[in-house]
Amino acid sequence: MAALRTYFINLVLRNVVKRRLSACRSPLEARKVFDSASSSTPSGVRLTQATLGGVVGEWAEPENRVAAATLLYLHGGGYIGMSPRTHRAITCGFALRGFRVFAADYRLAPEHKFPAALDDATAAWRALRAQVEGPIFVAGDSAGGGLCAALLLNMRDHREKGPDAACLFSPWTDLAGTGASLKTNRHRDPMVVADGMQAVAAAYAGAADPRTPLISPIYGDLAGLPPLLIFVGDSEILLDDARRLAERARAVGVAVDLRVYPDMPHVWPFLSAILPEGRQALDEAAAFLFAAGAVAPASATPPTGVLASNATAS
């Protein structure tokens, strides 16, 4: 039953989302596809529009209970599209699991090239750090996952207090596009189009070298980063972006938990309303962050997820 459900979800993604993205001829056309994504807002979460460090965004907080920890969330969308609104399935999922989440609506390319997104993430982080006592975490998906890693490097290089741990879903960490899975999984990936990655990367990097570590974190010195939890699907074209980030971080002593899920589409927690594996990944992410920050999540009860693991931890 689970395999059949996954098959049909991937089939729909391939015939709708991937087909639409394949027809795009520019990053701005791709933005229209990204921004058409819908994300459910579950009950039990309070949404509040806000500005943090001059960066607009929204808070997602559990209703009628005290959040156990604070999380900065950086959405995906290739640095060219999407927003906190499109990612409420994930941010509200974290809120239901006991987090007070600020989703930053950082500036997008091509109107705002590197380092605009990183500057906004940094400003939001600094403001959050100044307001909150105790552990604070960061999480993000796809481009937002890469942006999380860049934020960690930026804070370390500025000798500032960074997040206590980070969770990355299907992170895009190599905008130079050198990962082998871009080719080996180009037809297996049910959603992301390999041929459009270079144009999207150029829209964000602009004149900068895409191998700049604050653009593509896998090319940086990863020493001194906090614990990382990385999720990726084994059929994703970004599989090697996640694997290589994990390998290079481990090589310099960073604690890394890489979880490779079979047959899952790009950023599958986005589909947590219909995909049990999405709820499972959010359950695992919350448990990891709470453990990393020595936080007791007693004030929140997460929704029922899938307890049996379908992932491969490495």
Of 125, 114, 155, 118, the C-alpha closest to 52 is 125
- Choose the catalytic residue: 142, 170, 181, 216: 142
Alpha carbon distance 90, 74 (integer Å): 11
- 236 belongs to the catalytic site: yes
Residue at token pair 């939001």 = 124
The DSSP code sequence of 16-76 is: IIIHHHHT--SHHHHHHHHHT------TTEEEEEEEETTEEEEEEEETTS--SEEEEEE--
Could you tell me if 68 and 136 are in contact, meaning their C-beta atoms sit under 8 angstroms apart? Answer: no
Sheet (strand 256-261) strand order: 45-52, 55-62, 99-104, 69-74, 136-141, 166-169, 228-233, 256-261, 312-313
- Choose the catalytic residue: 58, 170, 266, 277: 266
- From the CB of residue 223, how many other CB atoms can be counted at a distance below 10 Å? 12
Could you tell me if 109 and 309 are in contact, meaning their C-beta atoms sit under 8 angstroms apart? Answer: no
Alpha carbon distance 98, 302 (integer Å): 7
- Choose the catalytic residue: 58, 61, 236, 277: 236
CA distances from 264 to 120, 170, 311 (A): 30, 10, 10
- 142 belongs to the catalytic site: yes
Which residues neighbour 224 within 8 Å (Cβ) at sequence distance 6 or greater?
156, 254
Both structure tokens of 300: 């929140």
- 160 belongs to the catalytic site: no
Both structure tokens of 306: 């899938």
- Residues carrying an active site annotation: 142, 236, 266
